[in-house]
Amino acid sequence: MQLNITFRHMDPIDSLKNYAQEKVEKANKYLDRAGEANVVLSLERHLHQADITLTSGPFVLRGREKSEDMYASIDKAMDRIEKQLRRYKDRLKNHNRRERMPQYIHEESEVHIRHDVMEVSVAEESGIALNPRVIKTNEFVTKPMTVDEAVMQMDLLDNDFIVFTNTQSAELNVIYRRKDGHYGLIEASRPPPKASVAPS
């Protein structure tokens, strides 16, 4: 497994680096292929944050925790990831979708997505939302997945939605978590090309 460890707002500490490496490498027992792990250890307002991202094939797992002790934050972040790995162990180990997928799905169906988080102030008198302001922006590339795999990836990341390219239709889809606990699916489709009319 390729492991990258980054320290932010704090000096690199070998003991922390070795501890994080030992904890992350234990996740290999759940995987059948070498993946990549990115660990970011940062100090923010006297809280120690561990942000660990693990890639397994097309899937991404993430654990992010804060505490007053960096070792505890690493433990909690990896506990979250291992819980996800145990839940989906068999599916992650036996997953060969990318080998089966036609090459054009990889090359032509990936879409760059920008996700903005907006802060909206509300007028006290009218209750009307005013002046939306972008406070955070994430950019990512959609991955080719089936609907079932997209639900799994959303659960692995503990997200409320995921944008993906549907491998069956090669169209952009969105899976989201409804308030009633069920999942919603939004399917985008391109309109059929207009038939050309030959000049008379």
Percent of the chain at pLDDT above 90? 38
Extract the tokens encoding 64.
């992010």
- Whole-angstrom distance, CA of residue 148 vs CA of residue 152: 6
The pLDDT-based confidence of 137 (bands split at 50, 70, 90) is confident
Class of residue 17 by CB neighbours under 10 A (exposed 0-12, middle 13-18, buried 19+): middle
Residues 6 or more apart in contact with residue 199 via CB below 8 angstroms: none
The pLDDT-based confidence of 125 (bands split at 50, 70, 90) is low
The pLDDT-based confidence of 35 (bands split at 50, 70, 90) is confident
The enclosing H or E element of 30 equals: none
141-182 tens-digit pLDDT: 788 888 998 998 888 888 899 999 898 888 889 999 999 989
Tell me which of 47-51, 90-94, 181-185 is least confident: 90-94
Instruction: Tell me the domains of the chain and their CATH numbers.
Output: 2-93 (3.30.160.100), 105-187 (3.30.505.50)
- Whole-angstrom distance, CA of residue 150 vs CA of residue 127: 37
pLDDT at 193 over 70: yes
Do residues 63 and 80 touch, judged by C-beta distance below 8 A? yes
The pLDDT-based confidence of 12 (bands split at 50, 70, 90) is very high
Which segment, 6-15, 109-118, 156-165, is predicted with the most confidence on average?
Answer: 6-15
Q: Give the per-residue pLDDT at 103.
A: 46
Residue of 154, 193, 157 lying closest to 173 (CA atoms): 154
Percent of the chain at pLDDT above 70? 82
Measured CA angle at 175 (ends 169, 40), to 5 deg:
115
For residues 62 and 96, the model is more confident at: 62
Residue of 90, 89, 176, 103 lying closest to 144 (CA atoms): 103
- Whole-angstrom distance, CA of residue 52 vs CA of residue 60: 10
pLDDT at 98 over 50: no
- Whole-angstrom distance, CA of residue 140 vs CA of residue 185: 19
- Whole-angstrom distance, CA of residue 54 vs CA of residue 154: 14
